[in-house]
């Protein structure tokens, strides 16, 4: 029996959700289902959440091989990805990201959905690669980027598929710290502090106020998900970016939004 790519463990009142598929942490429908179950457990029993990747890779994004094939599987995958991003962004507990390495496409979106973002030191790349591989940046991602990224870097980050080092990603707005020696331990300490000192109801209400327009965006554009089923498959291009080549996994699938 294959092990789950998503695991949740409780450290006192903090839920540590770890993504680890042993490869590039490519997000599939099964991974999203596992993440949803982990968030259910955290919402029921945790005061805060840490979302972590595996050593060297936070997440390489959605499985581009599914998106490139089009049809129902692509529609379901994009719909599920949008739902889980919206749930993270609206989550009624503080969410702290332990960025353990490369965070590309949906991996970078997970950072924007988190309240506090720590990154391990290393030669990692963070950013949106969608435009470089022929995928328009989804409107939900644009909305999150407008909330979290520096206005000075917004157009470059979205329009040109610019990849950033962890230090650069702090300036751009993907991260809050890029000097963690033990990124997961740092994230757990920060999450415990947030869970202890923030009043839960006030936090949840403030979260709803801040993210209300994101939900409206999804509802307004829900028809676009159905269009994926009957539209021609997107023209997913092979990337020339060495980081994305590094994130290719052994079974031939590729990472991306």
Q: Are 15 and 43 in contact (CB under 8 A)?
A: no
Q: What's 78's domain CATH number?
A: 3.90.226.10
Q: How many other C-beta atoms can be found within 10 angstroms of the C-beta atom of residue 53?
A: 27
Of the pLDDT bands very low, low, confident and very high (cuts 50, 70, 90), residue 241 is very low
For 172-225, how does the pLDDT look when each residue is reduced to its tens digit (9 = 90+)?
A: 999 999 988 899 999 999 999 999 999 999 999 999 998 877 767 666 655 554
Question: Is residue 212 one of the residues assigned to a domain?
Answer: no
What total of structural domains would you count in the chain?
A: 1
Is 95 strand, coil or helix? strand
Selected residue with higher pLDDT from 86 and 18? 18
- Pick the residue with more confidence: 246 or 210? 210
pTM score: 0.87
Range of the domain at 48: 6-198+217-256
Spatial contact of 130 and 256, defined as CB atoms under 8 Å apart: yes
* Cα–Cα–Cα angle for 42, 48, 49, rounded to 5 degrees: 65
Asked if residue 130 lies in contact with residue 105, where contact means CB atoms within 8 angstroms, the answer is yes
In a domain, 81, yes or no: yes
* CA–CA separation, 8 and 38 (whole Å): 6
SS3 31: helix
pLDDT in tens, 86-99: 899 999 999 999 99
**Cα–Cα distance list, 197 to 109, 194, 201 (Å):** 26, 5, 12
């Amino acid at each position: 029996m294959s092990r789950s790519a998503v695991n949740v463990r409780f450290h006192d009142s903090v839920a540590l959700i770890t993504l680890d598929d042993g490869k590039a942490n490519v997000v599939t429908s099964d991974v999203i289902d596992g993440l949803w179950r982990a968030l259910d457990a955290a919402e029921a029993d945790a005061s805060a959440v840490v979302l972590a990747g595996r050593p060297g890779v936070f997440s390489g994004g959605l499985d581009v091989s599914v998106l490139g094939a089009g049809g129902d599987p692509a529609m379901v995958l994009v719909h599920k990805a949008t739902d889980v991003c919206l749930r993270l962004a609206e989550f009624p507990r503080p969410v702290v990201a332990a960025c353990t390495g490369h965070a590309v496409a949906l991996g970078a979106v997970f950072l924007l959905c988190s309240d506090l973002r720590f990154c391990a030191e290393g030669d990692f790349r963070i950013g949106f690669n969608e435009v470089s591989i022929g995928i328009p940046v989804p409107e939900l991602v644009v909305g999150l980027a407008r909330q979290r990224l520096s206005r000075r870097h917004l157009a470059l980050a979205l329009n040109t598929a610019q990849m950033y080092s962890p230090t650069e990603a702090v300036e751009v707005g993907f991260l809050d710290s890029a000097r963690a020696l033990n990124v997961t331990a740092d994230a757990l300490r920060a999450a415990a502090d947030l869970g202890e000192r923030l009043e839960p109801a006030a936090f949840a209400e403030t979260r709803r106020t801040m993210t209300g327009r994101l939900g409206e965006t999804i509802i307004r554009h829900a028809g676009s998900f159905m269009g994926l089923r009957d539209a021609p498959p997107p023209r997913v291009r092979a990337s020339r970016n060495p980081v994305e080549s590094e994130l290719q996994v052994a079974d031939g699938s590729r990472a991306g939004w």
